[in-house]
Chain A
Amino acid sequence: MGYVAVKGGTEAIEASLDRLTYDRLKEEEVVEIHTILATMRPLVDQVMSEASLYSPFLAALAIKQAGGSMEEAVFLLRAHRSTLPRHYYSETVDTEDMFVERRVSASFKDIPGGQLLGSTNDYTHRLLDFNLVTESKEENRDWLQKYRKQMNQDCSDEELQFFPKVVDYLRSEGLFETYPLDDTPPKDITKESIQFPTGRSEKLQVLTRGQTGAVTSLGYASLRGYGQVHPTIGEVRVGAVPIHVQHPYEEDSEQDDLFYIGDVKLTEVESFVPVTVKKNNQKEEVEFEIGYGISFGQNETKAIAMSILDQCLENPHAEFPTHDEEFVFLHIDSVESTGFISHLKLPHYVTFQSKLDSARQVKKGGTSNDN
């Protein structure tokens, strides 16, 4: 016989999980993975970027499982990432080779290769489109047919076009410092925790996997006066880049011997930030530095904000938190911030009792610490 513990937790959890399942199923609708992939690409891109795992299919599955909750989907994908064995590091990607879908510059009207607007919400009017309430696949098919016909007429004999980097053009004018290529292998922040002060490779990794809202807010804060960086966008480009790996047992393969393992879609931003430089003759000159932003998928706001923060953190400035790497890096991760905020829902009976005891003892007064 004997006493047994109060069985509360187990049953309560089971019931809560059932309730969660019920909430997901009760309307008797099923959203298909391919529907999410086909119609919600920005959401898929954002989840991949914050989870730092490039897999549209798994991101869509995470979105489906999370019922569309951004933080939950990122959480699921990050946890899955922890179970994957890591086999290779890819070769460095040269974004000049990007298969560009969209490329704009705010610095120059006439950039070599021209502005290419591509697909963007930037010029839409944000008016609710009530036609979507009754849209049909047939109507959509008609529209697509017309569009494709038009496309074939317009670009039937177009050659592939090469888009040089805007910054190269300014470098040749001497407005930008030219640095030697730095081929130091990056530190993988998912294989060792970051140590302060951080190196540049760590900085860029933390920023690119940051929570979109958090990175955007801090970049915005710098722009508004809580920081020293007010950039002009040299170039935003969006498109697919090929990823190559070396043969695992061959050192220094030739470019032609590399293995192509697929494409990833990226957003890349190069911001131009004016800096004053003292020259040898004590004369001050204005030069430019580059703030760099990059993100999986099409995430332009985040990539631009990242380029601002990159510049902020390259130039520490005690006055502003946006220039303090510990402040920025330790607070922009979605999984860390949402996890710790939500942990406040856990019971704190013991710790509170301990503090209560302390408060009561202090109230009692007395100058000794004896009980």
Chain B
Amino acid sequence: MITKAHFAFFDEGSKKEIRRATLKAVAIPGYQVPFASREMPIARGWGTGGLQLTLSLIGRNDVLKVIDQGADQSVNAVSIKKLVQHTTGVSVTENTEEADIVQSRHRIPEKELREDQILVLQVPNPEPLRKVDAREYMTKRMHAEDDYSGAWLILFEQIMKFGRMSTGAAHPVYVNGRYVMTPSPIPRFDNPKMHQSKALILLGAGREKKIFAVPPYTNVESLAFDDYPFAVESFEGKACKLCGSTEVFLDEIIDPVTGDRSYQCNDTSYCIEQLNSEEKVEVENSYV
């Protein structure tokens, strides 16, 4: 009765099934493909959609990077890496450049991805129209009929109420000019990174049993009005206190003693790379 784990956890039939749904998702950019989401050894809502994509794609020679809210060392990212390593033996990295597959929760890395890389995003709520109608039966119809008036109306009501759009993360996007999709809860700051991305972006929602995709070099536009344009989070006049970067998404840190507010890169691997290159320059210069 003792059973040995199969390579990448799944039986091969399950992997094929998930890959078929993925191919369909790539063929219809932004369309949510229903798939038979499996129960995983990690909890629903903890990245099972992303994990199923990763496990169905990963090969023996691939290198994997997993990030959670920008950090490679976050406990759940570590836990997912451990599971994939345990069942595949592949090597993992924190360096974005070295990774073949980057699985991420709620962030797109600051470093631009290449054509030979795949970004897998974990999605808790794949349906951008869920606030418009709670019923899947209805939202599916709206997508089919290209009826996105509800999505626009939500943004319009925010402007009426607050004088501006008040979306946080997961600001909805038009993909390839046809399907409105949630970019997963990435901050608005990351939405532009999806537009004409060189890397294939796959989005997996395990609990809600959907896979969707943004193929490389596809148009992704955030929903906005001409007179109320889309705006990313503002970090004006702020910089990372560790590496000095300014054009990145910053975490707000409150000093428990003084109550002072400071900022640092949310993408830890990017921050370290900046620090190391600065140090390299210092060392090289000291030999002159």
Contact = CB atoms under 8 A, between A and B. Distances in A.
B76 A346 contact: yes
B94 A369 contact: no
A335 B17 CA distance: 21
Given A350-B266, A369-B230, A358 B168 contact: yes
Contacts of A192: 34-36
A13 B75 CA distance: 7
A163 interface: no
Contacts of B224: 369
A193 interface: yes
A366 interface: yes
A85 interface: yes
Interface in A49-80: 57-58, 75, 78-79
B75 A85 contact: no
A194 to B, nearest CB: 8
Contact of A326 (B136, B162, B166): B136
Interface residues of A, number: 64
B43 A343 contact: yes
Nearest to B107: A350
A366 B163 contact: yes
B234 A82 contact: no
Interface stretch (A4-12, A219-227, A237-245, A279-287): A4-12
A32 interface: no
Which of A8, A338, A354, A359 counts the most B-chain CB atoms under 10 A from its CB?
A354
B11 interface: yes
A365 interface: yes
B164 A350 contact: no
B236 interface: yes
B68 interface: yes
A351 interface: yes
Interface string A184-216: 000001111101110000000000000000000
Contacts of B72: 5
Contact of B36 (A193, A326, A341): A193
B167 interface: yes
Nearest to B225: A369
29 contacts: A5-B73, A5-B272, A6-B268, A8-B73, A9-B78, A12-B75, A75-B39, A81-B39, A83-B5, A83-B10, A191-B17, A192-B36, A330-B136, A338-B44, A340-B45, A340-B124, A340-B207, A343-B43, A346-B68, A347-B68, A348-B106, A349-B266, A351-B187, A354-B169, A354-B188, A369-B159, A369-B229, A370-B231, A371-B232
Interface of B: 1, 3, 5-6, 9-11, 13-14, 17, 34-41, 43-46, 48, 68-79, 82, 94, 105-107, 124, 134-137, 140, 159, 162-170, 185-189, 207, 209-210, 224, 228-234, 236, 249, 251-252, 266, 268-269, 272, 275-276, 279-280
Given A2-B279, A353-B266, A361-B166, 17 more contacts: A7-B73, A10-B73, A57-B1, A81-B39, A83-B6, A85-B11, A86-B13, A326-B136, A339-B46, A339-B48, A342-B45, A348-B69, A350-B69, A355-B168, A361-B164, A362-B162, A368-B228
